[in-house]
Amino acid sequence: MVRYRVRGGNALRGTAFIQGAKNAVLPMIGAALLAPKGRTVLRNVPIIEDVCRAIELAEAVGAYVELHESERTLVIDASRVSSPVLPAEIARRFRGSVLFTPALLHRLGEAIVEGVGGCNLGSRNLDFHYLGYKRLGAIVDEGETVIHVKASGLTGATLYLDTPSHTGTENLIMAAALAKGTTVIENAALEPEVLDVIDMLTKMGARISGGGTGFITVEGVDELHAVEHTVMPDRLDAGVFAMAAAITGGELSLVGTGLDLGVVRYKLEQMGVEFQSQGAVLHVRCEGPLRPINIITDTYPGFATDLQSPMMTVAALADGTSYIHERIFDGRFALAGELNKMGANVEVDGSRAIVRGCTPLTGTEVTAHDLRSGIALVLAALAAEGETVIDSGYLIDRGHAHLAARMRALGADITREISEH
């Protein structure tokens, strides 16, 4: 069991190195399995739990994978992919397992996803992936705990996504890349991570147009080949470090190529945080009191739901009342109860939260309910008086690499502990 112990009160100062994007590298590992020969090289790979799970899954289906941690580089040889089974012990802990199904369908003619199915599907919002496979000609057999997808060959079709999910978009692009004929994906996701995955697939030989327009056309090809690709920086990791500077009254330089925080930057600027772009480095500082804010989460280019929880922490320290409307995910307000244990004043009503700021936070024992609430509690702990212990720290490790070490380098008093209880 992993937990984080944080003693608050230190302003963060220095240079923060932003990790590679979690939401780009996971589909890229799935895409690497589409290449029947050669070795794929991925650079700027974040060393996070979800990447470790993805590696285990790739090895389980027969790929040979080398992770060079110090170089943050993955080398994947998928020439011996032989098993269509995504085993339950890994798939259950890793939602991204669905990203491996297109490669298995094309390489082996079937994919067997264990540990999901039944009532899980709707709540995990995975049903449209499988509906998309059906439209492309696959047969989907949904059991109690197993989903079996079979296809002797996929054929292009017109697909419509009810919601522009980035995972759904990437998955269906990969399925369409080797399908016969033309596939059109309407209401496709616009995220930069999707464009990065398209960039890699294009290098591999895929013919994809319309990325970033919401209307993607894929012309099927006969084969894709192994390539080298550098993963883009993680916008969410960058957003968290910008917020860490804001709530501690600190000053950070964020290093990452071509970093664009989009609407998160504008919202933080409204709160009084100063940003200055210096080429590939983004300088963040905050001296005065934070102003309150209104936030409505939305799909890209709107305010990212993944940064709503960390922003709630920032709002709890602002001088006034902030309003948050969560439009993307249910259950994204689990953070409120934990923040209130620390002295915050957050009131939740359905999909809306009212955050009455400027209440001093005090360290106590709290629990991460998911990755985003976990990192939001780390932020709260940095600004709190005294010591905070955050249980279920494994969830934080799912999305942020070497978090304690990176924050200690900036002056934070934070340790990651492993206990047997």
Confidence grade of residue 329 (pLDDT, cut at 50, 70, 90)? confident
- Check residue 256 and give its pLDDT: 85
How far is it, in rounded angstroms, from Cα 90 to Cα 35?
Answer: 23
Are 177 and 72 in the same domain? Answer: yes
Active-site annotation, residues: 119
- Check residue 127 and give its pLDDT: 75
Phi, then psi, of 126 in degrees rounded to 5: -105, -5
Structure confidence by residue, pLDDT tens digits, 342-357: 999 999 999 999 999 9
Are 187 and 162 in the same domain? Answer: yes
- Check residue 258 and give its pLDDT: 66
| Percent with pLDDT over 90 in the chain | 87
- Check residue 125 and give its pLDDT: 59
Q: Are 73 and 36 in contact (CB under 8 A)?
A: no
**CA-only gyration radius of the chain, Å:** 22
> Which residue ranges make up the annotated binding site for phosphoenolpyruvate?
22-23
Confidence grade of residue 117 (pLDDT, cut at 50, 70, 90)? very low
- Check residue 289 and give its pLDDT: 94
- Check residue 421 and give its pLDDT: 63
> Which residue ranges make up the annotated binding site?
22-23, 95, 306, 328
Structure confidence by residue, pLDDT tens digits, 134-149: 999 999 998 888 899 9
> Does pLDDT of 119 surpass 70?
no
Residue that terminates a domain, selected from 177, 205, 230: 230
Question: How many domains does the chain fold into?
Answer: 2
Are 213 and 136 in the same domain? Answer: yes
Its pTM stands at 0.95
> Which residues have C-beta within 8 Å of that of residue 196, sequence separation ≥ 6?
21, 24, 28, 231, 232
- Check residue 155 and give its pLDDT: 98
What tokens does 34 get?
Answer: 């589409």
- Check residue 269 and give its pLDDT: 97
We report the CATH number of the domain holding residue 364 as 3.65.10.10
Residue that terminates a domain, selected from 201, 230, 259: 230
Which range, of 52-61, 123-132, 226-235, 270-279, averages the lowest pLDDT? 123-132
Structure confidence by residue, pLDDT tens digits, 39-95: 999 999 999 999 999 999 999 999 999 999 999 999 999 999 999 999 999 988 887
Structure confidence by residue, pLDDT tens digits, 13-42: 999 999 999 999 999 999 999 999 999 999
Are 282 and 390 in the same domain? Answer: yes
Structure confidence by residue, pLDDT tens digits, 195-244: 999 999 999 999 999 999 999 999 999 999 999 999 999 999 999 999 99
Are 237 and 201 in the same domain? Answer: no
| Percent with pLDDT over 70 in the chain | 97
> Does pLDDT of 120 surpass 70?
no
> Does pLDDT of 318 surpass 50?
yes
Are 138 and 203 in the same domain? Answer: yes
Are 219 and 160 in the same domain? Answer: yes
- Check residue 250 and give its pLDDT: 98
Are 34 and 175 in the same domain? Answer: yes
What tokens does 240 get?
Answer: 């968290």
Are 207 and 354 in the same domain? Answer: no
Range of the domain at 163: 22-230
Are 216 and 240 in the same domain? Answer: no
Are 257 and 239 in the same domain? Answer: yes
Are 377 and 292 in the same domain? Answer: yes
Report the chain's mean pLDDT, rounded to a whole number: 94
> Which residue ranges make up the annotated binding site for UDP-N-acetyl-alpha-D-glucosamine?
95, 306, 328
Confidence grade of residue 118 (pLDDT, cut at 50, 70, 90)? very low
Residue that terminates a domain, selected from 192, 209, 230: 230
